[in-house]
Structure 1
Amino acid sequence: MTKSARAKKNKKADFAKVKLKVGKKIKKAQNETRTDFKARKIILKEQLEKKSDQTLLTKKKHNIKELLSRLSHSSSYVRQDGVTGLLEIVKKNQKADLEPFLPTMIQGVAPSIFDTDTLIRTSAIKFMDALILKVGNSIEPYFNIVATHLSCAMVHLNINVQGDSLKLMRVLTRHTPQLIARHADTLLKNFVSLISRKASSAQMITRSKPNKVDFSRLLHVNPNNNLTAHKWRLQLLQELSSFLEAILGEQRRVQAQVPYTLWQTIVDGSLPPVVCGDSVQGKTQESGVFSDPWQLEKFCFSIIPLLFQIWAEVDVKETNDNTGGNTLSGEGVQTLSCIVSIITHLWHITQLCTNQQPSQCTWFMVQLKSKYMSKIMCGFPYYCHMSTSQKKLRSGVKKLTTEGDYSLRHCDDVNVSLALLTMQLSSSEVFQEEAVNFLSKLLRDGNQDRQYNLGSVVTILLDLLQVIPKSQGEILVNAAQTCYSNFHPLKKDRALLLQILLAATDVDHTYLWDCRNISVWVDQLVDDLVRGDVREALLDSAIILRLRDNTKFKHLVLTSREEIKEKIQSKGVQGMAPSEVNKKLLFLLKD
């Protein structure tokens, strides 16, 4: 059936060709592009304003806000990128640029300290290290955030987080000792929890028993846990020693800032009230670490027995030659050094906290006068056992003996610290004799590297001169005079030894006046004055000898009076004005 004519016509209309006629314009197409428009600039004032965080950008053009948002991402790679970017911003920008963003950055990065990923925790600790170095004390208003997260990391269920918490502790004690010391009450408890557990009732020795060490806590023991290894315990002891040193420094600073009076000490028994400004008063209240002696006593009862348990794990061997003492491995020497350092710090903290000598604190001396502490003292002096591989690395260290594949080296610093502590705790005749022999060899030997603290040696010598007989006293004076002659005249440590000369010539040690080395020492002292190579301490010691009317010293000084005056006035004395030098010379050289 064919379509109608109408249908055919409509079909042709759809596809009909438009016929162009002369004089008529062509209709414009619907998709035609117009080019007759005019353009003008639209300026928004907001675009001219620079955003405050646009100046702090990483190499990838990420700002602080974007990086902080990545720290809460589920992917560890994204979180790592966020911490790394913030670390980059801290390193490349100045303190003034970073200070406005301190609250947001610290609050954002602090939770990463106990992230499950090791790389993120390491980067977060590096960020804190770089940030504190850059901004310094400006971090103080926000330090509570860091300390709180550190405390949480130390008691975290993840043992890897606990291990990395010591790295952050090392950063804080190195850069902000005053701030971290204010959180001593919390962090010291965490140290104890990190290394020990509560003992069972059968293992516990109660405090009610007199003269007994409290072993209510025992060391963690787990072969599958790296935190129970001796190497990690050594690391913990090192951080604990540094933390106690920071506490001791802060305690001394507070007492110097707010001095005690006798009446306040008797009535209050604690820090006196502060009547100065709010800022100083607030700092003083926060800095009152161990203001309660009970807190210190509780900590000592916990940590000192743990130190004895750690020492019990150290392999101590007797020397095979005539040097005496015992040998330790490298880790054993470091362990002994940490134990002695911790006990020494506790000794000084106890003295500051209780306002009395630690030897008068019964609860403190019970711990240290036990048989466990005696085992540490009886091995004095100690030497370090070196293997063949260690000898190649430390070829410059003086060797005592060589036999087979090992040798011994001095541990002078540890032995001096142990001797000083032992003299404070007890003064048995056996130890006195050992100390005299050790110190005399130490001072006479000029080939040693002198890594020990000479001030501690002088303190021990002064204590020994009060109790030892004449023969041993002459040995120590001889050793001190030999050490004095080995030093350069202008060396600072040389003046410390003059305390031995002054002690040996006072009225309390008349038995040493006829000692031959005293006469030699006086001759050498006058020779130093004649050469003009003197320090203030030497000049003061010479005046004291003159006041004591030492016959030989007076005769030698008056004989060389003009020469001494000319040399000292021409060379001068370091740290003294010429007028002060002239006054002291006038007093020294008068008839």
Structure 2
Amino acid sequence: MGGRHKKFTRKEKSKVKLKTKKTVLTKAQNVTDTSFKVRKIVLKEQLKSAVLNEPQTRRNLSVKELLSRLRHYNSSMQKSSLVGLQELVTQHSEEILGLHLSELIEGTARLILDQENDVRKGALKLLNVVLTQVPESRVMPFFNVLLSYLNCGMTHIHVSIQDDSLAMLDTLLEATPLLVSANADTVLCNFLDMISSLKPGSSSERTLTMNLNSRFTSVAWRMKVLHQLKGLLSALVEYKKHQDRKHSGCLAHPSENTACLRDSWTWKEDSELHIPVYNHHYRDTCYLPNVFSVGNSSDESSSEDKHLKKYVKVLIPLLIETWREVALGQVCKSSNNEVSYSLLSLEAAEVLKCVLEVIQLLCELLTSEVTEFITAHRKDFGYLFFHGFPYSCSQRHEEGVKVRNDMRKQKECLNKDPRCLSQNLAICHLFYCFYDDHNMDVELSSLMLKYVKGSMRNWKEQDDRKQLMQVLRHLLQCPKCWGCHGTNLRKVLDSTVAHYKKTHDQDLFEILSGLSLTAGLTHLYRYASFQEWMESLPDLLCSPTVPATTVEILGKLACQNNPLFCKILCQKLPDILNNLNSVQVTGADNECKGRKSISNILYWVKDWSGDALTALENHLQSENFDKELASHITDLLASRVPTERNTQ
């Protein structure tokens, strides 16, 4: 083996070998050169000069940077940008909202649907700050964006987002009530989906749903939804009143005393005088209903009422079922001193109050359809609401801690009145609205009237007072009630007049004046208390300040030639004329128009005494008397002469 290997190596060495050129790599190709230099990229100052004048936060962030960060995927980045935007809007509201209002509304409303709870809360705070500093006219072009995100939030699959959408609706109702009310049709249906679902095989009938996977109990969640529904319906009632005033020609509310409404001006040397060239009413939208309609205009004008009527037909059964579920388990019948009453838990008392207030608002909206509405649900109301009257609340009633915590979380006051005064008065109001013929249940009607008499001793709570005013207005102005309970209603009338003399409450004045203007209640003039009140009305024109609504009602009494009122008016004419040049009419367009409205009452005075004529002549010839007002009175009384000659 060894010899053979040596022969092979000698043979290989003896071969001719070709020489190859050996390549050597250069240094530049295999060695890294570390001799380079590093410099920072510095922006020139002229590129930053345009940004330095913009408002910035404490972290030197501008509005555009913060708005761009609202779309960042990181929730902490979104929260910090919301805080920064809130800081800028608070400190530089005019500049920020004047240039970036649309971007702020769109970016903030979009975050209402975010998955993070903190982001949604921050978006609600920012939205509240923005909307409270901007008038409704500037929000109107972007309100569709807010409305779209609100509808998405109310119909979202997650209950927490639905909860925050209700908070967003509350913010919109406070900042832009007219815009929300004008688009109420698109929002109302969402409330039905939040507490109910369609029955299988039905297109209109619904049933209540249960919240099994929610931090809210089913009753607490329905209470939260119904509370927001009550706020929306309240805004809708005010919107309807505003529209009625506007369409009837009263474009502005009587209480609005704006500069554009004046037709007389007083020059003052120590101050500048600014007179508007155009009346602000000329800038309002011209109301031309159905101007492009082809069919019947009356049918199209009532489309909103038809939509609301259909909505009520679906909502009322759900309200009844909501109270039925609570009433069957938590209402206990008790008695004390031979008086039976229904004992409610705190939760049941709050549910009853909310349900009744929603029904009252629906009745106020559907003024012409109340009869049909009553007939359809009279039996249910009689059994579930009227049968247990009166109700009382027990604060010691056994109730879980979780229920009370849920009620506190929804920021609603627990019913601390053990008498349930607001609930019982609401039931009285609905009873007298539902049953025009009170002879159907005389015992229950007498019981409710007795309760109303007892509740008149307490006029402190604002909610209870509002309910009581509604009941008194219906009771005292209903001829059928006087026919059934004449003696008891007289005591109620005496108490009402006595309380008006103490407080001079304007709501009580409107109730009593409604009695004097109703043709079918002439028998009230036989009562001494009502006569005394009528005789005291001309004294109101002698006071330093008079509401414009009061002057209007007194003018109607003079126009109707009310004998008792006109008799005392003639006796008070000298005092009224002495006070005419200095009286302040609150709610009038200006001082001169307010005083002219009082002087218009003089047109209906027939018997002028010698003292009254002397006082009138002295005032008309006095230099201190308003010349415009004196000319108005002269023309007014001169116009009576042809009328009196014709009657003779």
For normalisation by structure 2, the TM-score amounts to: 0.64
Structure 2 CA distance, aligned partners of 1:582 and 1:186? 49
Could you tell me how far 1:57 is from its partner in structure 2? Answer: 1.5
What's the counterpart of residue 460 of structure 1?
A: 474
What's the counterpart of residue 189 of structure 1?
A: 189
What's the counterpart of residue 324 of structure 2?
A: 312
For the residue of structure 1 that corresponds to 2:335, the secondary structure is coil
Could you tell me how far 1:434 is from its partner in structure 2? Answer: 2.6
Structure 2 CA distance, aligned partners of 1:75 and 1:435? 61
What's the counterpart of residue 421 of structure 1?
A: 430
Structure 1 CA distance, aligned partners of 2:84 and 2:390? 52
| 1:376–1:159 CA distance, 2 compared to 1 (3 A) | same
Q: Which runs of 5+ in 2 are unaligned?
A: 1-34, 36-42, 250-281, 292-299, 400-414, 587-593, 610-648
For the pair 1:232 / 2:196, whether they are aligned, the reply is: no
Structure 2 CA distance, aligned partners of 1:566 and 1:423? 43
Superposition map of 1:560-579 within 5 A: 561=571, 565-566=574-575, 569=578, 575=585
- 2:319 and 2:355 in contact (8 A); partners too: yes
Structure 2 CA distance, aligned partners of 1:542 and 1:251? 25
Q: Deviations over 1:553-586 (max 9, x none)?
A: 899x59x947x95599569866286676677589
- Farther-moved stretch of structure 1 (327-336 vs 62-71): 327-336
Q: Deviations over 1:281-332 (max 9, x none)?
A: 69999xx998355533432232111111111133333343255543434443
For the residue of structure 2 that corresponds to 1:72, the secondary structure is coil
Could you tell me how far 1:58 is from its partner in structure 2? Answer: 1.4
| 1:59–1:118 CA distance, 2 compared to 1 (3 A) | same
Amino acid at match of 1:117: E
Could you tell me how far 1:122 is from its partner in structure 2? Answer: 0.6
| 1:251–1:116 CA distance, 2 compared to 1 (3 A) | same
Structure 1 CA distance, aligned partners of 2:121 and 2:289? 31
Could you tell me how far 1:88 is from its partner in structure 2? Answer: 1.7
Amino acid at match of 1:334: E
Superposition map of 1:124-203 within 5 A: 124-137=123-136, 138-200=138-200
What's the counterpart of residue 371 of structure 1?
A: 380
What's the counterpart of residue 291 of structure 1?
A: 303
What's the counterpart of residue 297 of structure 2?
A: none
Structure 2 CA distance, aligned partners of 1:326 and 1:573? 53
Could you tell me how far 1:340 is from its partner in structure 2? Answer: 2.3
Structure 1 CA distance, aligned partners of 2:519 and 2:235? 40
Superposition map of 1:364-403 within 5 A: 364-365=373-374, 367-372=376-381, 374-387=383-396
Structure 2 CA distance, aligned partners of 1:523 and 1:254? 38
| 1:367–1:289 CA distance, 2 compared to 1 (3 A) | farther
Structure 2 CA distance, aligned partners of 1:281 and 1:554? 40
Amino acid at match of 1:415: N
Amino acid at match of 1:495: F
What's the counterpart of residue 103 of structure 1?
A: 102
For the residue of structure 2 that corresponds to 1:313, the secondary structure is helix
What's the counterpart of residue 268 of structure 1?
A: none
Superposition map of 1:535-574 within 5 A: 537=550, 540=554, 547-549=561-563, 557=568, 561=571, 565-566=574-575, 569=578
For the pair 1:342 / 2:358, whether they are aligned, the reply is: yes
For the residue of structure 2 that corresponds to 1:575, the secondary structure is strand
| 1:332–1:569 CA distance, 2 compared to 1 (3 A) | farther
What's the counterpart of residue 81 of structure 1?
A: 80
Could you tell me how far 1:415 is from its partner in structure 2? Answer: 3.2
Could you tell me how far 1:338 is from its partner in structure 2? Answer: 2.4
Structure 1 CA distance, aligned partners of 2:123 and 2:389? 43
- Farther-moved stretch of structure 1 (236-245 vs 289-298): 289-298
Could you tell me how far 1:278 is from its partner in structure 2? Answer: 11
What's the counterpart of residue 238 of structure 2?
A: 249
- Farther-moved stretch of structure 1 (320-329 vs 419-428): 320-329
Could you tell me how far 1:370 is from its partner in structure 2? Answer: 3.9
| 1:172–1:290 CA distance, 2 compared to 1 (3 A) | farther
Structure 2 CA distance, aligned partners of 1:279 and 1:548? 41
Structure 2 CA distance, aligned partners of 1:350 and 1:546? 31
- 1:290 and 1:296 in contact (8 A); partners too: no
Structure 2 CA distance, aligned partners of 1:46 and 1:245? 56
Structure 2 CA distance, aligned partners of 1:459 and 1:253? 22
For the residue of structure 1 that corresponds to 2:388, the secondary structure is coil
For the residue of structure 2 that corresponds to 1:452, the secondary structure is helix
| 1:82–1:491 CA distance, 2 compared to 1 (3 A) | same
Could you tell me how far 1:132 is from its partner in structure 2? Answer: 0.3
Structure 1 CA distance, aligned partners of 2:461 and 2:248? 40
Could you tell me how far 1:164 is from its partner in structure 2? Answer: 1.2
Q: Deviations over 1:155-214 (max 9, x none)?
A: 11222111111100111112111212233233222111111122345xx7x9xxxxxxx8
Q: Deviations over 1:505-544 (max 9, x none)?
A: x773566665xxx124424654786796696749939966
- 1:412 and 1:452 in contact (8 A); partners too: no
For the residue of structure 2 that corresponds to 1:218, the secondary structure is strand
What's the counterpart of residue 90 of structure 2?
A: 91
What's the counterpart of residue 369 of structure 2?
A: 358
Structure 1 CA distance, aligned partners of 2:555 and 2:608? 16
| 1:324–1:498 CA distance, 2 compared to 1 (3 A) | farther
What's the counterpart of residue 483 of structure 1?
A: 496
Amino acid at match of 1:94: S
Identify the structure with bigger relative contact order (alpha carbons < 8 Å, sequence gap 6+). 2
Could you tell me how far 1:129 is from its partner in structure 2? Answer: 0.7
Amino acid at match of 2:68: S
For the residue of structure 1 that corresponds to 2:392, the secondary structure is strand
For the residue of structure 2 that corresponds to 1:156, the secondary structure is coil
What's the counterpart of residue 492 of structure 1?
A: 506
| 1:116–1:439 CA distance, 2 compared to 1 (3 A) | same
Count of matched residue pairs: 488
| 1:317–1:284 CA distance, 2 compared to 1 (3 A) | farther
Amino acid at match of 1:306: L
Identical-pair percentage: 21
Q: Which runs of 5+ in 1 are unaligned?
A: 1-30, 32-42, 207-213, 261-275, 352-356, 391-405
- 2:497 and 2:529 in contact (8 A); partners too: no
| 1:110–1:498 CA distance, 2 compared to 1 (3 A) | closer
For the residue of structure 1 that corresponds to 2:393, the secondary structure is strand
What's the counterpart of residue 591 of structure 2?
A: none
Structure 2 CA distance, aligned partners of 1:381 and 1:187? 35
Structure 1 CA distance, aligned partners of 2:472 and 2:85? 51
Structure 2 CA distance, aligned partners of 1:527 and 1:188? 47
Structure 2 CA distance, aligned partners of 1:133 and 1:111? 19
